[in-house]
Amino acid sequence: MHLHRSGSDVVVHAPAKLNLFFEVHSRRPDGYHDIETLVTPIGLYDTLYVRDAEDEQVTFTCQKVYGEWRGVGSWLEGFPEGPDNLVVRAVELLRRRARVRRGASLRLVKRIPTAAGLGGGSSDAAATLVAASVVWNLGWSGEALAELGAELGSDVPLFFAHGPAVCRGRGERVQSIRGPAGLHFVLVRPPVGLSTADVYGACRPPRGPRSVQPLVEAFERGDLRGIGRQLFNRLEPAAESLSPWIARLREAMARTDCLGHGMTGSGTCWFGLCRQARHARRVARRLRATGVGVALTVQGCS
């Protein structure tokens, strides 16, 4: 994420993410699954504006920027705009733990679609913790904020990593890794999304889980073709059993010359790894013509 000040506001640009690898292990006693995933943040951002308030009130507003998603009616399906939003939950959690007797004014500019596997809500929560710590002069470390964020959602801690990372446990154990800067992707979001809980409910963990290590090694070598060969997501069959769009996206992407492709998170977004920006733009144009959904180009970021 990127933070700066603008007048009396602290402004944070909160990125989406792609899961280049996603393995599901056994179910834990707490109801979660152990996972192993390699994630990279991408240059698709929500923007959060946070301002201190002396009256101890927390106010939250959201501005929806349709952009490429215009005409896709479900791009923010299930998005809560009240106290259940992760932005509000995050600021209230930090306020309780830090015993802060002040409020905050929060304005979210929303660009990342929901029910897409892009982690937009989790990224917004991480951005809120960072911004609120700054406006209230708490001085909390990134590690402390990431630990707090894990209470809000399994994906929240990964957004405190400085670029690509391998996440384990239920997602809260984050290890930053080296990799090629600015990978180019084409990203497709179909007209409908999927519930993460439903996808996990339909997933059957394997007896012999696949290891992320071959992808990590290709990543650290900067081997684009090797990265493309190692893309993997255990949740794809479960998502396919719930939505016909998954098979349509796989088939459409297989007809392109991407180095590799797959689903991110619990879907429904599908991505392809491209050689460079021009290649990604060309693939996006082809995919738009097929009618599988909104196709845009994105780049990995730190």
Catalytic residues: 17, 155
Nearest CA among 222, 302, 280 for reference residue 41: 302
C-beta separation of 37 from 19 below 8 A: yes
The 3-state DSSP class for residue 107 equals strand
Give the containing element (helix H, strand E) for 121. helix 120-135
Token pair 């952009």 is found at: 67
Rounded to 5 degrees, φ, ψ at 79 are: -75, 115
Taking every pair of Cα atoms in the chain, the longest distance, rounded to a whole number of angstroms, is 57
Strands 33-53 and 9-27: antiparallel
